[in-house]
């Protein structure tokens, strides 16, 4: 490799320019291939991608002080008071999955992945910290599992004051369900 500030001969400069030009053309070709794959709709053939994304956003926005922000081109970050508790990942680094990545309690990740490896997985980067991935591109999504994962991730991340608000709201809703008037 060349040292910073070292003078290159004309021959070395030509080789450097050539390799950079070749690299650019290869990168452009590879980008065209990837664009063709996405245009062919491999991920877009997943059932109702936009509808599922909207439903995830609605679930998260139903939690006290939860916000949704863009995290890249097609990814979303779900936060409570600037702390991330979940991600919506669309084909993260070309992995071919549309998934929800959530913070999980200790031991939960391995239990879920071992029980159902088709649905759950260890996500890159945050997986070693205990996060779990749930595929939302499968033909059928278990929305009860999605809600549970999101709520647990939210509770693990939210400050005590906010957490108590959400837990009080959940128990109040549960009490209201039990006190439904009966028909006479």
Q: Is 158 exposed, middle or buried (0-12, 13-18, 19+ CB in 10 A)?
A: buried
Q: Hey, what are 161's tokens?
A: 């004051």
- Per-residue pLDDT reduced to its tens digit, 91-136: 877 878 999 999 999 999 999 999 999 999 999 889 889 999 999 9
CB 57 within 8 A of CB 86: no
- Per-residue pLDDT reduced to its tens digit, 140-180: 889 999 999 999 999 999 888 877 776 666 544 444 555 55
Element of type H or E holding 114: helix 108-115
Tell me the torsion sign for CA atoms 71, 44, 122, 141: positive
In terms of Cα–Cα distance, which of 81, 99, 80, 79 is closest to 89?
Answer: 99
pTM attached to this predicted model: 0.65
DSSP state of 56: H
């Amino acid at each position: 490799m060349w040292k910073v500030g070292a003078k290159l001969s004309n021959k070395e400069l030509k080789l450097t320019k050539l390799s950079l030009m070749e690299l650019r053309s290869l990168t452009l070709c590879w980008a065209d291939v990837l664009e063709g794959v996405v245009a062919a709709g491999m991920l877009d053939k997943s059932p109702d991608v936009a509808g599922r994304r909207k439903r995830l956003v609605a679930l998260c926005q139903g939690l006290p002080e939860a916000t949704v922000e863009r995290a890249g081109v097609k990814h979303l970050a779900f936060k409570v008071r600037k702390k991330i508790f979940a991600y919506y990942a669309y084909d993260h680094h070309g992995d071919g999955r549309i998934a929800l990545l959530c913070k999980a309690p200790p031991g939960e990740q391995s239990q879920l992945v071992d029980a159902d490896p088709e649905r759950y997985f260890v996500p890159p980067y945050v997986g070693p910290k205990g996060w779990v991935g749930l595929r939302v591109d499968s033909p059928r999504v278990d929305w009860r599992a999605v809600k549970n994962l999101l709520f647990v991730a939210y509770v693990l991340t939210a400050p005590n004051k906010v957490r108590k608000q959400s837990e009080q709201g959940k128990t109040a809703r549960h009490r209201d369900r039990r006190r439904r008037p009966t028909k006479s």
